[in-house]
């Protein structure tokens, strides 16, 4: 039998150090296959994907659950951003370096099963996958019910997965949120929709019913689990996420630590709706400002939820400055803690409209129609970078890690290893 590199390493170590190694330690030597897998997991996804066609051995090696988990672990050490600058029929995605903020083409997602060639909109990024939605549109059918197609995509491999349809929503589009955790690839999709059930307006205080056009309508929520591949009703919702004219399809949410958060209302006291991976809802009041403060110094329409170093944060933009609050929640009680050193002159002009906000580590990125505005929480300094030549239109920007996780089988990467 021909001696492999791994066997040679084991033999030489036991020959040269027979007395210094225990019986168990003599065989606790890295095999050459492990070395190969570790090296390969550090190269780009594009290069890994091209190797799958070279041989059956390499195809099998990079398709294992162990390798997918290893590659994702290395990729998380060097995160970037995924950017869709404009809302178009074909979703053109770019990768943006987290240091230089330079854009490079990543992929174009254009699934043939999409309804009537309508535009896809990216709403979430997790474990190298993204979630996108588009409205279902049929020119030949008039209906009071609306629905969305929901997609899971891998931008690096180009794979797309269309999720099953949920229950349609009466006279409004469903509100969608994505829950995930860094320790598992089991994700949950939440759809808040109007059932069409009505009660008189005077009974609007009934939980799950909200006034619209003179009568109260019932809103419920369904949860999709990647482990079952199906939707499950989790009942009425305590409140309904607010509309945001800067984001289509009522998709303005953030996921932090496996919990999804939506803004519900900015009127005092202001509310946030949250739901965790188990489908349990919670309503959180926004931080309270001092009573003697002016309206423009309190919660404004330019209020955004972000993930700041693993905690939910509330960013409030004011003319010339901003406030930042971090949520401290132990499961029973919660409080908002203001972040210091943020009473600095904001570098965004009053006539610039902030279209979307994201964050990565200590950086907060505000996107206007023409520029990136980057704020460093640690140094308190602003940096302004010109955006794409064509500008931004309904931009979507999220932290991103490259991965080769398959859309259909991502759950098994962690459960069966």
SS (H, E, C) the chain: CCCCHHHHHHHHHHHHCCCCCCHHHHCCCCCHHHHHHHHHCCCCHHHHHHHCCCCHHHHHHHCCHHHHHHHHHHHCCCCEEEEECECCCCEEEEEECCCCCCEEEEEEECCCCCHHHCCCEEEEEECCEEEEEEECCCCCCCCCEECEEEEEECCCCCCEEECCCCCCEECCCCEEEEEEECCEEEEEEEEEEEEEEEEEHHHCCCCCEEEECCEEEEEEEEEEECCCCEEEEEEECCCCCCCCCCCHHHCCEEEECCEEEEEEECCCCCEEEEECCCCCEEEEECCCCCCCCCHHHCCCCCEEEEEECCEEEEEEEECCEEEEEEEEECCCCEEEEECCCCCCCCCCCCCCCCCEEEEECCEEEEECCCEEEEEECCCCCEEEEECCCCCCECCEEEEECCCCCCCCCCCHHHHCC
> For residue 410, is pLDDT > 50?
no
Other CB atoms within a 10 A radius of the CB of residue 25 amount to 12
Confidence at residue 44, expressed as pLDDT on a 0 to 100 scale: 81
Give me the mean pLDDT over the 23-28 stretch. Answer: 47
pLDDT at 9: 41
Question: How far from chain centre, in Å, is Cα 6?
Answer: 41
> Of all residues in the chain, what percent carry a pLDDT higher than 90?
41
pLDDT at residue 247, as a whole number: 79
Q: Quick check: 357 pLDDT over 90?
A: yes
- Confidence at residue 64, expressed as pLDDT on a 0 to 100 scale: 78
User: What would the pLDDT profile of 250-272 be if each residue is shown by its tens digit?
Assistant: 778 999 999 999 999 888 889 99
Q: How confident is the model at residue 344 (pLDDT cuts 50, 70, 90)?
A: low
Residue 143 buriedness (CB in 10 A; 0-12 / 13-18 / 19+): exposed
Q: Report in angstroms the alpha-carbon separations of 301 from 272, 296, 355.
A: 14, 10, 12
Residue 361: the pLDDT is: 92
Which pLDDT belongs to residue 73? Answer: 87
Residue among 341, 196, 207, 315 nearest 261 (CA): 315
Over range 158-186, report the average pLDDT.
Answer: 87
Q: What is the mean pLDDT of residues 166-189?
A: 85
Whether 268 and 297 have beta carbons less than 8 Å apart is answered as no
Look at residue 82 in the predicted model and tell me its pLDDT: 96
Pick left, alpha or beta for residue 196 (phi over 0 → left; psi -120 to 50 → alpha; otherwise beta).
left
Looking at the chain, the whole-number percentage of residues with pLDDT higher than 70 is 80
Asked whether the beta carbons of 148 and 249 are under 8 A apart, the reply is yes
Q: Is the pLDDT of residue 138 over 70?
A: no
Which is more confidently placed, 326 or 26? 326
Q: Which of 301, 325, 303 is nearest to 313 (CA)?
A: 325
pLDDT: is 343 or 396 the higher one?
396
CA dist list (Å): 128 to 109, 155, 224, 238, 400: 15, 8, 19, 32, 6
Can you read off the two tokens belonging to residue 388? 């794409």
Task: Provide the pLDDT for residue 203.
Answer: 52
pLDDT at 77 over 80: yes
Q: Where is average pLDDT lowest: 78-87, 104-113, 200-209?
A: 200-209
Work out the average pLDDT over 152-172. 92
CB-count burial class (<10 Å; 0-12, 13-18, 19+) for 378:
exposed
C-alpha to C-alpha distance for 28 and 24, rounded to whole angstroms: 6
pLDDT value of position 356: 93
> Residue 206: is its pLDDT beyond 70?
no
Please give the torsion angle defined by the CA atoms of residues 238, 394, 249 and 135, in that order, rounded to the nearest 10 degrees.
Answer: -160
- Residue 12 confidence class, pLDDT cut points 50, 70, 90: very low
What mean pLDDT is reported for the chain?
Answer: 81
pLDDT at 220 over 70: yes
**pLDDT higher than threshold 80 for residue 349:** no
Please name the residue that has the structure tokens 């970037």: 80
pLDDT at position 18 is 47
Task: Flag whether pLDDT at 39 surpasses 50.
Answer: yes
Range in 111-115, 271-275, 375-379, 383-387 with the lowest mean pLDDT:
111-115
State how far the alpha carbon of 283 is from the alpha carbons of 175, 216, 232, in Å: 16, 20, 21
**Joined tokens for residue 381:** 């300094």
In this prediction, residue 123 has a pLDDT band, given cuts at 50, 70 and 90, of very high
pLDDT band for 210, please (50, 70, 90 cuts).
low
**pLDDT at site 17:** 46
Q: What is the mean pLDDT of residues 238-261?
A: 87
The pLDDT of residue 269 is 81
The confidence band for 230, taking pLDDT boundaries of 50, 70 and 90, is very high
Burial of 44 from C-beta contacts in 10 A (0-12 / 13-18 / 19+): exposed
CA dist., res. 195 & res. 208, Å (int): 10
- Point out the least confidently predicted range of 77-91, 176-190, 274-288: 176-190
């Amino acid at each position: 039998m021909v001696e492999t590199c791994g066997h040679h390493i084991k033999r030489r170590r036991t020959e040269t150090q027979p007395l210094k190694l225990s019986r168990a330690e003599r065989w606790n030597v890295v095999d050459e296959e492990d070395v190969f897998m570790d090296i390969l997991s550090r190269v780009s996804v594009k290069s890994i994907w091209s190797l799958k066609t070279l041989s059956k051995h390499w195809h099998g090696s990079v398709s294992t659950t162990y390798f997918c988990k290893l590659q994702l672990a290395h990729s998380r050490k060097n995160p970037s951003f995924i950017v869709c600058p404009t809302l178009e029929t074909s979703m053109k995605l770019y990768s943006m370096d987290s240091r230089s903020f330079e854009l490079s083409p990543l992929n174009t997602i254009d699934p043939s099963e999409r309804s009537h060639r309508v535009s896809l909109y990216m709403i979430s990024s997790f474990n190298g996958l993204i979630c996108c939605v588009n409205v279902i549109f049929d020119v030949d059918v008039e209906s009071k019910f609306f629905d969305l197609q929901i997609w899971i995509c891998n931008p690096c491999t180009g794979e797309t997965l269309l999720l099953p349809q949920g229950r349609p929503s009466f006279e409004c589009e469903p509100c969608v949120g994505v829950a995930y955790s860094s320790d598992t690839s089991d994700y949950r999709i939440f759809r808040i929709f109007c059932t069409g059930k009505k009660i008189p307006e005077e009974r609007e205080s009934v939980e799950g019913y909200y006034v619209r056009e003179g009568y109260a309508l019932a809103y419920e929520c369904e949860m999709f689990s990647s482990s079952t591949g199906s939707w499950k009703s989790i009942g009425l919702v305590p409140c309904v996420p607010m509309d945001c004219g800067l984001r289509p399809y009522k998709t303005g949410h953030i996921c932090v630590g496996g919990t999804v958060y939506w803004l519900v209302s900015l009127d005092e006291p202001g509310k946030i709706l949250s739901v965790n991976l188990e489908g349990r809802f919670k309503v959180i009041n926004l931080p309270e400002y001092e009573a003697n403060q002016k309206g423009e110094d309190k919660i404004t329409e330019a209020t955004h939820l972000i993930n700041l170093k693993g905690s939910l944060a509330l960013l409030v933009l004011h003319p010339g400055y901003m406030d930042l609050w971090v949520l401290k929640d132990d499961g029973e009680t919660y409080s908002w803690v203001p972040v210091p050193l943020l009473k600095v002159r904001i570098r965004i002009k009053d006539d610039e409209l902030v279209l979307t906000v994201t964050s990565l580590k200590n950086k907060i990125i505000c996107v206007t129609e023409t520029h990136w505005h980057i704020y460093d929480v640690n140094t308190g300094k602003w940096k302004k970078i010109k955006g794409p030549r064509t500008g931004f239109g309904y931009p979507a920007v999220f932290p991103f890690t490259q991965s080769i996780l398959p859309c259909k089988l991502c759950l098994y990467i962690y459960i069966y290893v």
